[in-house]
């Protein structure tokens, strides 16, 4: 596993934990929500550089997507 893939995995774990805690839902349900999001797709695309951002930043993008139906940050 290369460094980028490892960073992505750590961010995914952090975000799924945050979703599960914030929404008071099971870990599996939180995984399903995140894995089916546009943010997850962007995070997997190493060309976006999103994996270099903090877990909190990526989670904020996810919350924006859930609230507004899409990512509202223009830089992605």
pLDDT at 12 > cutoff 80: yes
Here the tokens at position 10 are 């750590």
The model's pTM is 0.89
pLDDT value at residue 1: 76
Tell me the backbone φ, ψ of residue 45, rounded to 5 degrees: -80, 100
Average pLDDT over residues 13-33: 97
Helix (H) or strand (E) holding 64: helix 55-68
pLDDT value at residue 8: 95
Here the tokens at position 4 are 């980028």
Distance CA 30, CA 19 (A): 6
Give the confidence band of 73 by pLDDT, cuts at 50, 70, 90. low
pLDDT value at residue 23: 96
Distance CA 38, CA 26 (A): 21
């Amino acid at each position: 596993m290369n460094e980028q893939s490892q960073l992505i995995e750590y961010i995914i774990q952090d975000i799924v934990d945050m979703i599960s805690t914030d929404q008071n839902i099971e870990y599996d349900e939180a995984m399903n929500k995140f894995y089916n999001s546009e943010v997850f797709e962007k995070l997997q695309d190493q060309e976006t550089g999103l994996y270099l951002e903090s877990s909190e930043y990526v989670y904020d993008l996810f919350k924006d997507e859930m609230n507004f139906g899409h990512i509202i940050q223009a830089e992605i």
